[in-house]
Amino acid sequence: MILFEDFFNLVMAIFLIVFCVWFYSKLFKYIIKLMTFPFKLILAPFRFIKSIFTGSNSKSSAPKKQTASVADKRQGKVSGFLKKAVIAGAAVKTYQAVYNRPHVTPPHGYAVRGISQVGIGNKWKVKYSRIDSMNITSHFYVTPLSRKVSIGGDQFIADFPE
């Protein structure tokens, strides 16, 4: 059986190892910057003279490309998020259209012609016709709160799945 103290010591050891790797990676980057700084300082006048005669420095155009690539990455992240949101919305709509579709029981003398979802919510449009005049179609809306709809003296009943 593993004691709590042993488990705690194991977790702390892992935390210490991760912290040491992170700390030393940051420390080595800082030390390398400090070591290369004198060489950059010594070469700076020569780069300046070169830029006077050549017109532009090759390093001065690199940050522009880098910022453009950063902007492209941000645009990719935004479009990736928007794409995922649109796909999620389509999945929710499909789920609601397939699994949450109400079953409408028409009164005697009527026929249900079609049921379609309105928007992303729980509002459904029910098309119906009288059996004696099938070429005339009317509609009404039904939600889980309004399960019964009266048309004249007749009553349509909508049953929603749980």
Dump pLDDT digits (tens) for 101-111: 888 999 999 99
- Alpha-helical segments (H) within 55-155: 58-99
What's the whole-number average pLDDT of the chain? 79
CA–CA separation, 9 and 155 (whole Å): 70
Instruction: Give percent above pLDDT 90 in the chain.
Output: 20
Each residue's pLDDT tens digit, 110-138: 999 999 888 777 789 999 999 999 999 99
Return the pLDDT at 100: 77
Looking at residue 106, its amino acid is P
Each residue's pLDDT tens digit, 71-106: 556 655 667 777 888 888 877 777 766 777 888 999
Q: What does the pLDDT average to over 145-152? A: 86
CA–CA separation, 1 and 61 (whole Å): 63
